[in-house]
Every structure is written in structure tokens, then in C-alpha cells.
Structure 1
Amino acid sequence: MINHTQNQQQSSPAADAAKRLGKKQLKKLLKKGAKIAVQILKKLILALIKTVVGWVLALGSPVLLVIAGIGVALLIVYIIISMAFSLFPEILSDDELAERERYISIANEYDIPFELLIAGVQIQGSLSDYNDAQLQEIASKLQPHSTYKNITLHSESYSVRCVNGNCTDSSVSKSSKEVPVVDYTEKWDRIVHYDYEIEYGAWNRTNSYSETKCTQNKDGSEICNETSGYTMSRDESYAQIPTETLDYTKFETAFQSPPFNYSTDDLYAVEVFYALTDNWIEYKEWKNGTVSVPGSGSGSGSYDGTVIPGSSIPSEFFKVYMAAQAKYGVDWYYLAAIHFVETRFSTIDPMVSYVGAEGHTQFMPCTWHGWGYPGCKGTIGYVNIPEKDKYKPATVKRYNGYGVDGNNNGIVSPWEIEDAIFATANNLANNGYSKDVDKAIYAYNHSQTYIKKVKEYAKKFKDEASYTNNATPNSLGFVQATTGRISSRFENRTLGGSTAFHLGLDIANAHGTPIRAVASGTVRSTNNSCPQIGGLGNTCGGGWGNYIIITHNINGQVYETVYAHLSSLNVKKGQVIQQSAVIGGMGTSGSSTGVHLHLELHKGIRKSGAAAAETALNPELYVPI
């Protein structure tokens, strides 16, 4: 972390580089082509409004001083250079084009975005300051890395033998083989875990034969026997199901290593310049532990109404669980379960374990204050924190601990119930709760038995509670999916030069706007493997990008709804969802020209391909808009 006192006296890499650029570079770029300059200025204004201003306001006063020192003109120089090298190469000189191609070549070699490499280098100095070996070293730390595992695929076969039309089957023989598959892939901005659905294919007939043998009787007549047969076989195949969790560990490792040695604030600057190239990055949200919550959403598939806890939950704690759920997207019943398993709702006295975990939800001092705290590395998490550092917000911030000042009293203490519950939610959210509950709970205690116990109590507390839905369904049983303007209706439309019938309703609003289930049901299918930013013709997710399909049963009638082009998902395949649950955030993944929800409604199970038109209903006639 940056020492803020020093920050006011010393220049940052961004400031030093900006001074070297000066007015000469700005004048040179603005001279190149009036038409392109207009395009850049349009994007520049939008970038300043949507990205830079929000970023600057969020950084705080120490960094604002640095920005002020650079000056607005030099900030604009930076923005124009980022845009020129990524979006407008036609304005570059031959030498600059060669520099750009060098970065593209190295980025392609290591399968990373060249814009990221340029954004990372730019705040340190000019692009020509680094040779190929240095850039390759950086790129190698950003490149994807996959870990593999084996899955077992089975095969079955049996033979059929027929004599004069009378057939008999042999017993079924089975075999198996081990197949290597990707377990997970670490990318520069995310970790992709892969599950595999394995199922048998259809039976196939092979090795068919047929022959007729005749023998002659003594009287000269013939007796003929027709023998035929074949083999029936089938094989198991697998489908890969990816689940993504945003994780910028590789991003940090690459740019916080030599030759850059960037601070967190420097990485926020890299984020801004990467965003200016029409790419998406959520490093700041990930760093602050807020990325798992779409928009202002509440919990991964959590109930969006009034919840009345059962008698097992002490009433004084329930409001704290709900407040933590709203902030971190971790379901209240899991927070209650951890609180109960750890300290029986704070009734164990003393609330200190034999290894040194303390407080309402039993945090080790190093986990609470941060594993970067001196002496923590190499321990099980216990060091003696002196009073000058203990429970201080500055300590937790400096060493990236999980402690949270939940009641805003200036103390970050595991002995204060608000701080403890909020810190527990913070811990789970940062360890991928929105994608994999078991993984997040395991990171909390590192025990499979602990996971089982917490999930048992979470289910008990959830089932004991009563629920009153604040969103009243219409006469057909549906509630509103989201808010926004209708950008495309259930009708013929022309897009990209071709006309086709649009099977859904498009509702446009801001990135991350909460998407809700229009009725209770079960998640039949999801996709969460697409980049958040798509484009017209993008085929990821079959063109839907990131999507959810939910099967409903309303008064005996089966319906299915499709929610497509999402920025984030809060649910998994097979999960039971209650009406009005926040299931994801609005986005522009897949084949999309802007942020919106593509909502489809089908009577019965949605058919695939062109047959989907047979079941499609006009959502406007059924779902409140």
C-alpha cells in the first residue's frame, strides 16, 4: 500500500511519464486528421464523463493531488494515446505502427489483450522504453495457465445373432478409459473452473454380417439356414460447463513485480486506461470485495421480499445478517449458520479458540488484519498484534485484511457483532461465494466437515423462515423482470442488414441493473463463460452471451423464461429459485449492440433452433414491463 504522506511529496510513475510526454506529443496527435480527431474527441468526452471522472472521485485526496499535479492537458494526452494505439491506428506514424505491431505480436504469443499490455506500460513510460525480453516477461505472468484432471468415460456393447429370424442378444460388456480434461484455467482477470456433464450417446449398429448356408438332403432337397448379426455399441461423451470467478491475482503479480513495482493506486490507473480502449475491467471492485453484487443486488439468488426468521435465530442478530447480505451478496442464512457453528450465536465463553481465533465468528488475527502483517507468513494465522495496530482501520487497509468496520465507529474489531458478521460476508464474497458456495466456506475453515455442518444449519434456518413477497404477481402469476426502456419488441426486425423474427423482448438500462426471476422455478441451463462485452455477430453462448433458462410451473402450466446478455450470474444449474429473486445483472455479452436484457417466454419447454418459434410467447402480454 502507498504511504499517503509520501504520496503528497513524491511523484508517481504516471506523473513522471506525463511530464516526459508534454505538450509536444499532444500537439502532434491533434494535428493528425480532422475527421479522426472528431472521432477521438467524441470518445474522449464520453470517457472523461463515464470513466475518468468517476475514477478520480473514487480515489481520494492523496491521489487527487497527484492528478492535479499532472494537469488536465496531460491526462488528455494519455487518453488520446490509449485510444490511438488501440482504436485509431490510422493516425500513427510508421514508427508508432511498428511499435504497436510489436505489442500485438507479443500479446498474441501469450494470449492476452495487447491493449492491456499497452495500458500497463503507458503509465510508467513510453512504449519504446521496453525491449521484447522485458515485455515477454510481463506477458508470461499474465498468460493463461490451465490445470488438468482425468475423467472416466465408459463404453458399452453387445452382439446380436440371428438364425432364420430368431435373434438372441449377448450380455453387455463394458470398458472405460481415462481422458485428460481442463480442471481450471487461471487467466489474467479471472479463474474459470470446469465441471463436466457425462452421458451416453445413442446406440450405434456396427459389424453387420449376413450369410446363408444350404445343405442337400438325401432326397435331393435343400435346407437353407440364414445367419446374420451385428454389434450394438454406445459411448459416453462429456460437455464442458465453465464457471467464472473474477480474480486479478495474475494482474497484480505481473505489474507489482519489477520493472514496474506498481502500487494499488497505479493499478487503478491501468484499469482506467484499459477501459478507454473499449474493454472492461473490474479490478477496483474486486479489490474492494464488491464485484460479486450486480447493481444494488442482494445475495446470490436471494429472496427479494420481507423475511421473518424462525425461532432459532436471535432477533438482535437478524438485522445484521440482512445488512451484510445487502452489501456483500452473501445469503443471510449462511452468515447465521457460520455464526452458530463458530460460537453458538455468541454464547460460548470465552470466544477464543485454542489456536487463537477470536470474536463472534472466530477470525485468526492474521486473517482479520491481513496476512501481509509482519510475522504472519509461515504461521497458522496467529501473531501477537500490538495495541498500536490492533483493530485499527489503517492496519486492516494496509495489510489487506478481511476486517470490516460494520458499525462505522472507527474500530475494526471481531468482538463487535456488526464488524464480525460483515467481515465474514466480506471473506465469503472475496472467496467466490457467488459462484461456488462450498469453495467459499472451505476457504473460511479448510474443512469438508465444516462445509457440511454449515450447509445443514443454513438449510435449517432458511426453511424455518417465512417469506412475504413485496412484488405482487399479476393475474397470470408473473412479476417484473427488470426496469428500463423497451429497445426491441417481439416482432420482425432488421439488424446487421438481415431481417428475422425477434423471439423476445429487449429491455435496456445501465450495466449491472438487477435481473429478477419472473416466477419461482428451477434453473435448467446457464452460461457464464462469455466476456462481459460482446458485439453484433458475437457467437459466444450461441449469441446470447451469458444467460439463464428457468423452468416454471404456474397453476399446472409449464413455462420457461430466458434471460440473456447478462453481465453476471447469481445462480447455478439445478438451483431452485423463488419469484423475484435477483438472478443476475444486465449486460451486453454475446451478440449485442448495447446493455440490455433479452427476455424470452415459452409455453412448455423451449425448443432448440428454429423450432423455438413454436413455443415462444410475447413477453409483453404476460410479464409486467
Structure 2
Amino acid sequence: MGLPQQQNENQESAVVRLAKEKAAQAVKKKSRKLLKQAGKKIAKLAVKAIVKAIALLTKMLLSFLSTIGLPAIGIILGIILVVIIIMMATTWAYGGNEAKLTGKDKQLQQYILSQSYSTVDMSRPEQRKFRVPEGLIASVIQIDSMVKGNEDYKALIHKMAVSLKPIFTYDKFNEWTETETTVCRDGKCDPPKRVKTDHWVSKLTNVEAWDGTTTYTYSPYTTPWVTSVKVDYETQKNTETEQYIDNETQTFPANQNIPIYGWKSEKVCDETGCKLNNVWEIIGYNQYSSPTTKVVPVMKTKVVENDKKIEIDTTTRTRSQKFNVNENSTIDYSRFDQILNQYNLGTDDKKLIEALYSFAGGQISYSEWLSGSLGSGGYDYGGYVGYDGTVIPGGGVPPQFMPFYLGAEKKYGVPWYVLAGIHYVETTFSTAPNMVSSAGAQGPMQFEPSTWASVGVDGDGDGKADIWNNADAIYTAGHYLAISGWASDPRKAIYAYNHADWYVDKVLRYADQFKNAATYVGGSSTGSKAQQVTTVGDRWIGHSTYVFGGGRNQSDINSGRFDCSSFVHWAFGQIGVNLGDLSSTSTDTLNNLGIKVPYNQAQPGDIVFFDTYKVNGHVGIYLGNGKFIGCQSSSGVAIADMTKSYWAQRFSGNVRRLIQN
């Protein structure tokens, strides 16, 4: 999380200055009208919001009194109350509520609202909730106008909207579609044809808003096949020969035998049996003493065309790649605080902004953040540093970099999550398309070659320090922070890495996120087999393949080919626990081992089951904090969150304990 900048507690509040200087002008006719309308709103406001606003105002009034001489307390206190109430009413009115404004006031209200909507693309649903609230803009501009006496309200409103506008980051994801088509004609089918079509879509991955940061991580999955059948018909022209009898007149000479034609039955036999066929042939003869003309039947052949109706069945199966999304938000008012500091606002002024915004119905924890009660005021640079158990990354940190982060942490004393934060901010974990900056910085951790020449170290033991090598770059970042004074002033050390306060805040914000998203298993007080089994499979993360029925011979194991049950069998085997015959191991055999325990009593090292293609169709090893490690069809061996999305829907509640500590 970002850190609140040093607050000026002794700075005289803008309200006090206004009360002293402009007391006689505090109450105007317009303000009376707004107060009357705002009074109706007070009855409708949530009690919680009112109580918070009143509590903040009470604290501020006590603070204001400390800046005023005793003889003037009565007069000034009354004026301060009037000024604050007017500001609350004005904030409520200009903040888009139901105040019946007219003329320039109405125009100003509408302008605030339009500027609020301009901070996001309202045509994109995912951006709308990050819109800078109109009530917040109305709250801030009042204080600023008091400090600077600024009467150009529209310019101030526009500047504030632009300053607080969220920063959205989108990445491309391939939601491809695969289609398989099989065509059958008259019962004869062609081989199926598959076509895969890429469909790249933009998805929101990070938002830096005025009140914090939200990150979105996406995990792909393939939808089931969807089948459709289309039936068509076509007419096919066929030709075939056909015999027929035609009568012809023929002349026969005297004393010549004249054939007599007729049908004659013949017995025809083959391997299937015998049958009678009628054959047109000569059945006798006549003879005449003189030439004779006779009409004789003659067998002839002709070609005949006919139509045949053919059925064409087209079967189409379609599936696509989609993504489950995980959202992680962190409250951080660093950016908001920096903007207010530019206007020379003190702590009381900042708390007054929160009170005004709360009165207008807004939700904000700015004062808690300023005081450090949200954890930002006293950043824990050393939490989990030197942790001797297993650290399982979360929050999108690629597990393949963890050995480098932890190794550099051990050597240089810089927390692994700070190194991960720098790695993410610089090159998004080495995924930036061109890891060369406009200033000439290079590689995963963005060092300038001249700097690298003096500080670069060999992180992977290959005998050379390569600015493009992930291990070398991460170790060098730890080395650079160490020699820049990390042990005495961590914030100053990060500032030396990149000379910008916003950079320091951003790195620490992500560092805090990565630290809290990780799972910490084992440690100095633990070392049981149940805890050991949670880590033996880490070597296969990113280096394995899911094969149904795989992992049941040494060749598969050496190559990292497992299915879910063989991976569990292998993992327990690594710590000396035999789960039975490897060749026949399955989720069913594993479900018959150990004892069943309730999920709320699950411990790291237990095995958990999920209802996938069947009841208890998938199994993994529980790690704690709702996470498990297993061999998944979409990823090979990986750590998954069983409390969200796909796995949460399929977790059967079946937990079995195979090891009794």
C-alpha cells in the first residue's frame, strides 16, 4: 500500500481562516435555500453516514478551537459552525442530489455531474463503478476555493476530475472458438473437419483509482462442446438401362423356321438358395411353305433417367475458451492525498473533505488511512522476511520466479514481495513486449547498462551477470536496494531505484498485495510429513502436463505427466507414505484411505475432492487458506483457489486425512 505523506497538523484550517477573514459574508440568501432543502435530505440519510460525518466534524471543531484565542472562541465557533453547515449543504446540493437549483447553480451542478461521468467510459460497464463521484468533486472544490479564493469553479472542477480520473490497464485475451463439422450423405460420412478461430478481446487487468487499486487476474477454461445437427435434402439424377418388348414386322422365306417368343421360367440357384426367374426367349418354331410376313416381339434396351432423394446430415460441434476472473482490491489514498497536498491542505481540511463527502452519501475511509489504522501509515517492510517455511505465491505472482525472489531476499535482506513489486511495475513479470525503455533501461528489472556494469551480479551461478537473465536481474535488484540503504530507510532505497514518490507508492502497494495474497505453510515450528507433502510438488509447477491415466510409470513421472490421482500418489510417496498400488490408483481408491474430516477442520496435507466429470472426480492436496495443489487438465500441476469460481462450485466438502501428526 502507498504511504500517507507527512501531514501538516499545525497548518491553520481553511475553515478557520475563512471564519476569521470573511465572517460577515458567510451567510447568503442562496445558502439559506440550500440549507432548507438539505434539511429534508438529513432525514433520509443513512444513520451510519450521519453519525460518521458528525463524529468527524466534532473532532475537527475541537481541533479548530486549538488555533483560536480564548476571547474569540464564542464568536468564531459560531461562525465556523455556520460555514461548515453551509459547505455541507452546498456539497449535498452540487453533489447531484435532489436540490432544486436554478440558473447558474443548476448549470454548475450539471457541470460537476458531467465531469464526474467524463472520468470513465460509461459505455464500458466494467469502468462505471470507478467513476469519480460528483459528491467528492463538490467536497474538494469547496476547500480549494477557500484556500485560493478561486472563483473559476468550472476550471477547478475540470482540473479535479482530470486529476482524480482512474487509470485503466487492459490486456488482450484469446477467447478462441473451435468448430468441428461432420457431413454425412446418404449415410456415408466424411472425416470431421476442425477449424479454430482466434478472437482476441480486451479485458481490464488493473485500475488505479482515487481510493485504491483493483487488479483482475484471469484463468482460462474450455467450454463443453455444443452440438447442433442440420438436415438437408437434394435430388440426384440417376440413369439406368431398362429392357422392353417391341413388335417388329419381319419377312421369312419359305420353309424357314419362324421362332415363337414367350416367357419361360428358369430355376436359378446360388449360395443364398434357388428361385424361379421369368426369361423372354424362343419357346418354339413355325414353318411355312411360302414366304411369310410376321409381327415378331423383340426384346430391346433403353436408357431411363429417374430422381433419387438424398439426405445430407451436417453435425456441428462448437466450443470456446473463456476466462474466470479474480478481483482483488486494495484501499490506498496515496494518489488522492498527493493531489490534496498540491493544494496545501492540512489534516483538518482533509478530514473536512471526508465529512462533507460522507454527508453527501459517499463511502470513504480517508481519515483512517491518514492515521495508519488501515495499515498504510506503518508499512511492514519485514513481514515474513526470512520465513523458513514454504511461501506459495498468489495475486498473480508467477511461481517460477519465487526461487529468485526468496534467494535474493535471503542474500540481501530485501523482502521477496518488494522485489516482486518492482518486477511487476517494471515489466509485468517479464511479459512486457519490449523490455527497453525510452531512457535505455533494459531487461526484466530495467537497469541502465551503465548502472548494471557496476552493480550487476550473477544470480543463477552460471558465472556471468546477464542484464536479460531473470535470476541475475532479480538478484541485482536486491543487491542495489541493499547498497542503497534498505536496512535503514527502505522507502529511500526504492526511491533510489526510480526517483519518484509515485513509483515508491506503487511498488509498495503491489508488494503489500503480493505479501498478503501468498500462503505461508510450515515454518520453524513445523516439519511434519503432512506439511512436507504440501511442498514436494512445487517442482512440477509450470513444468508438467495433465494426461488422463498418466503418472503410473517411471517414464511419465520423469517427464512430469500425471493425472490428479497419480500426482497425489507420487507426492505422498516422496515423503515415505505409500498410498497403495500405483497402477490402479484413482480418486475412488484414494477416497477409501484415511479418515473423513469436516472442511472447517481441514489442515495442510489433507486431500480434498471435487465433483467434476463424476462424484469425487478430482483430487488435490490441501495447502490451507482455501488453496490446494493438484494436477489439473487445464494447467498441469498448479495451485488453485477452491473458494472461488470453478472449484468452489465443484468442491464436494469431502476432506480426508491420510497422515495423523
Give the TM-score of the pair, scaled to structure 2. 0.45
Structure whose CA Rg is larger = 2
